[in-house]
Amino acid sequence: MYKEKDSPAFLLLFFILFPYLMTVLILGRNACPLSREISLEEYVPAVTASQISWDSSKEAIKVQTVAARSNLYAQGNDSQENLLIQEAAEYIRDQEMNRLMLEKYQVFLEAARETKGQVLKEKGEVREIPYHFLSSGKTRNGTEILGEDYGYLSSVDTSGDIESPDYVKGCYFSKEELENKIREYYPGFSLDEKETVEVKAWDLAGYALEIQIGDQKFQGEEIKELLELPSSCFTVQKLEKEIRFLCRGQGHGLGISQYTVQQMSLEGKKYEEILSYFFPELKIETVGTNGSGGGDQIQVGSFHNDSLFL
């Protein structure tokens, strides 16, 4: 994966530049007195590295790179853009950047360079690209969950995710534990005498849309956050002394399933073809470093999807 003859020079250069890169990431573009302005493109490798496993294939990292860049350009204001960059800074700062980690980080630099400026657009507008680690077996429909503006988020077959060892997880709570976790956000909450915990509605991908706990109703994603569940794709069972949330997948289930992306890349699929599978209505377009449109366009939906999962 790495060219050994390039590694020493790269590592030396990276060790020299790393303190500067961290300063820029943490304190902002104007933190270092250089004569040129730092472009948004230069943040892309670090943002991508904070969003995907460093052991992923290069094609999977390219997919995430295009998604990360799209999200940076789609944020539309400096505060949201800075939040993504700050999260990346905190993540990179917490890593032990030894020789192995620096070599792995080189792949993120290469992926950003080889996809330079590429974002996903619909009708000329950069779109936000959600991602998650592991789906329920199919991704969620954007229109069903978020409305017509997110119709470009198609529900696609990701049944290979079921093979992941992390696919199913049982989360158990006593009555007291369940009440205490919810009371952290809703101080007056308590279970009713029947200890009602019942999912009232699911979406077409099997994620809980509404759940009643006691006399109060919650959105599935809200309960996922309150109880720190891996996914809102869950069923609930009342056991003798505990309440079990049986969760499938990890994350919100919208957009890219990183597990499926990795498997497709190992089958030899290129990043353009993988993006085609998840977003058939979007185009890959190249933007300038100042965020303006322009450059070559690739029709993402031009690949045939029927042979990707046999």
86-111 mean pLDDT: 88
**Number of separate helices (H) and strands (E) present in the chain:** 10, 12
Q: What is the dihedral of CA 229, 232, 237, 243, to 10 degrees?
A: 30
pLDDT of residue 58: 98
Whether residue 274 sits in one domain with residue 227: no
Q: Reply yes or no on whether the pLDDT at 55 is more than 80.
A: yes
**Which residue type, as a one-letter code, is found at position 266?**
L
Domain-embedded: residue 180: yes
One-character DSSP codes across 86-126: HHHHHHHHTS---HHHHHHHHHHHHHHHHTTTEEEEETTEE
Closest CA to 226 of 241, 208, 201: 208
Q: What confidence tier does 303 reach under pLDDT thresholds 50, 70, 90?
A: very low
- How confident is the model over 65-77, as pLDDT tens digits? 999 999 999 986 6
Predicted local confidence at residue 38, as pLDDT: 61
Element at 258 (helix H, strand E): helix 258-266
Are 183 and 115 within one domain? no
Q: How high is the pLDDT of residue 88?
A: 86
Q: Is residue 149 part of a domain?
A: no
Q: Check whether residue 26 and residue 54 sit in a common domain.
A: yes
Identify the domain containing residue 210 by its residue range. Answer: 168-248
In the sheet that holds 197-202, the strands lie side by side as 197-202, 208-213, 216-219
Say which range, 59-73, 95-109, 121-135, has the weakest mean pLDDT. 95-109
233 CB-side CA count, 13 A: 23
Q: Read off the amino acid at residue 245.
A: F
| Cβ atoms of 275 and 131 closer than 8 Å | no
Q: Do 243 and 190 belong to one domain?
A: yes
How many residues make up the chain in this entry?
310
**Has residue 310 been placed in a domain?**
no
Q: 71 with 33, same domain?
A: yes
Residues 86 and 226 both lie in one domain? no
Confidence band of 48 (pLDDT split at 50, 70, 90): very high
Q: State both tokens at 98.
A: 């030894």
> Same domain, yes or no, for 44 and 116?
yes
Q: What's the pLDDT score for residue 299?
A: 43
Determine, yes or no, domain membership for 275. Answer: yes
The residue type found at 104 is K
Residue 294's pLDDT is 44
Q: What is the mean pLDDT of the chain?
A: 84
**Is 99's pLDDT higher than 50?**
yes
Task: Name the percent of the chain lying above pLDDT 90.
Answer: 67
- The verdict on residue 82 lying in a domain is yes
Q: Evaluate if residue 80 carries a pLDDT over 60.
A: yes
156-213 per-position pLDDT tens digit: 999 999 999 999 999 999 999 999 999 999 999 999 888 899 999 999 999 999 999 9
Task: Say whether pLDDT at 85 is over 70.
Answer: yes
Domain count, the chain: 2
CA distance 7 to 226: 45
Judge if 26 and 44 occupy the same domain.
Answer: yes
Q: Is residue 52 part of a domain?
A: yes
What does the pLDDT read at residue 86? 83
Percentage of residues in the chain having pLDDT higher than 70: 79
Query: Are both 13 and 104 inside the same structural domain?
Result: yes
| Judgement on whether residues 291 and 202 belong to the same structural domain of the protein | no
Q: Are residues 260 and 114 in the same domain?
A: yes
Same domain membership, residue 215 and residue 66: no
Residue 291 in domain: yes
Residue finishing a domain among 208, 230, 248? 248
Handedness of CA 177, 182, 184, 188 (dihedral sign): negative
77 domain-assigned: yes
Supply the Cα-derived Rg of the chain in whole angstroms. 21
Average pLDDT over residues 263-270: 98
DSSP conformation letters of 186-209: -TT----TT--EEEEEE-TTS-EE
